């Protein structure tokens, strides 16, 4: 349960941040284009595997960890732990592996489906010169952002395997999740703050331009 809450929290927080970035990009695009659209269009943005390279890499890492630890796991695996680190819930080895890898696969699939769907809908194609950020960078950010909850889930999987194979916890899951989310928030800020500043300047300058016209 704690793992699920942490992963959902990570998805929710970074989803809000991503939504803010997309909103500012859209507003800046409208402010720059104005009522009349002029200028050449560029080729549509196509899907690239680089848009989801981190989700794919973490999924592959999870598969490798599972292959290595599977033979070391008992038939009944402790998958949930109390605050003192003692087991709080048990599942069969097969069910534990299926849930962990299944969740990783779904997150990687969601990253791929989201970025692929956006390229097919042409949301960021067309007059790309009016965007403050290249569409490819936006899509790479969107797809690879899901690596945050994947990384937390991968650590939870490794911790479960480590305890059941060697009776050793690596570190508290909440601490690792906090570190990952802080680092992710810093990356989000580095990406979004310049975009928001440019969008804000464009929106602030728009009324004065309209008055001059």
- Beta-carbon contacts of 70 under 8 Å, excluding residues fewer than 6 positions away, are 93, 97
- Total structural domains in the chain? 1
CA dist., res. 22 & res. 17, Å (int): 9
The model's pTM: 0.74
Print the domain residue range for 104.
2-21+48-193
| pLDDT tens digit sequence for 182-204 | 888 887 777 767 666 766 666 66
Residue written as token pair 């809450």: 5
Calculate the CA 36 to chain-centre distance. Answer: 35
Closest to 157 (Cα-Cα) out of 54, 58, 36, 44: 58
| pLDDT tens digit sequence for 63-113 | 999 999 999 999 999 998 888 888 989 999 999 999 999 999 999 999 999
CA dist., res. 26 & res. 16, Å (int): 15
The more confident residue out of 1 and 185 is 185
Residue 70 placed within a domain: yes
Residue 212 placed within a domain: no
User: Residue 5: what pLDDT?
Assistant: 54
Residues facing residue 91 across a β-bridge: 77
């Amino acid at each position: 349960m704690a793992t699920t809450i942490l992963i959902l929290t990570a998805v929710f927080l970074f989803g809000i941040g991503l939504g803010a970035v997309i909103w500012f990009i859209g507003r800046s695009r409208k402010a720059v284009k104005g009522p009349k659209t002029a200028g050449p269009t560029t080729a549509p943005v196509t899907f690239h595997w680089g848009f989801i390279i981190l989700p794919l890499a973490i999924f592959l890492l999870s598969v490798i960890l599972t292959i290595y630890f599977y033979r070391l796991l008992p038939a009944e695996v402790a998958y949930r732990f109390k605050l003192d680190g003692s087991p709080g819930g048990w599942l069969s080895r097969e069910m534990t592996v299926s849930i962990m890898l299944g969740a990783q696969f779904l997150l990687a699939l969601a990253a791929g489906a989201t970025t692929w769907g956006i390229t097919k809908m042409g949301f960021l194609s067309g007059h790309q010169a009016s965007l403050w950020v290249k569409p490819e960078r936006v899509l790479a950010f969107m797809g690879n952002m899901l690596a945050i909850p994947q990384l937390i889930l991968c650590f939870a999987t490794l911790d479960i395997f480590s305890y059941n194979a060697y009776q050793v916890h690596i570190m508290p899951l909440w601490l690792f999740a906090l570190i990952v989310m802080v680092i992710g928030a810093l990356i989000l800020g580095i990406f979004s703050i310049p975009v928001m500043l440019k969008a804000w300047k464009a929106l602030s300058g728009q009324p004065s331009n309209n008055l001059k016209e």
